[in-house]
Amino acid sequence: MKSKTLLTLAICVAAASVFSGCSTQKTRTGRNNSLLGGLFVYNTGNYQPVGPNTLDIDGTQYLGRVNPSGTQVSALWGTVTFHDY
């Protein structure tokens, strides 16, 4: 009984992730790409500050870039954010 319930739940989760697809929006400053219902979000030309409820990783500290690109990548619905600006 329990295995049928877990199997049904796993099939529903897999179907939701496959059929949620991706979304692309073109904004004034760049592009906003969202995959799997916001699980991963890739923004180009986005120099907006990162929210307070995220683990913020600044790429300019680790990569030593002189010319930042404004790229922002968020994972797990904004829990972890990597930005280059």
How is 18-58 classified by DSSP, letter by letter?
HHT-EEEEE-SSSEEEEETTTTEEEESS--PPPPTTSEEEE
Q: Report the pLDDT value the prediction gives residue 60, as an integer from 0 to 100.
A: 75
Query: Which DSSP symbol is given to 66?
Result: S
Residue 64 neighbours by CB under 8 Å, 6+ apart: none
Rounded Cα distance between 5 and 61, Å, is 47
Mean pLDDT, to the nearest integer, of 32-51?
77
Mean pLDDT of the chain: 76
Asked whether the whole model's pTM tops 0.75, one would answer: no
User: Smallest Cα–Cα separation from 34: which of 68, 76, 70, 69?
Assistant: 76
CB distance 64 to 45 below 8 Å? no
Mean pLDDT, to the nearest integer, of 3-11?
86
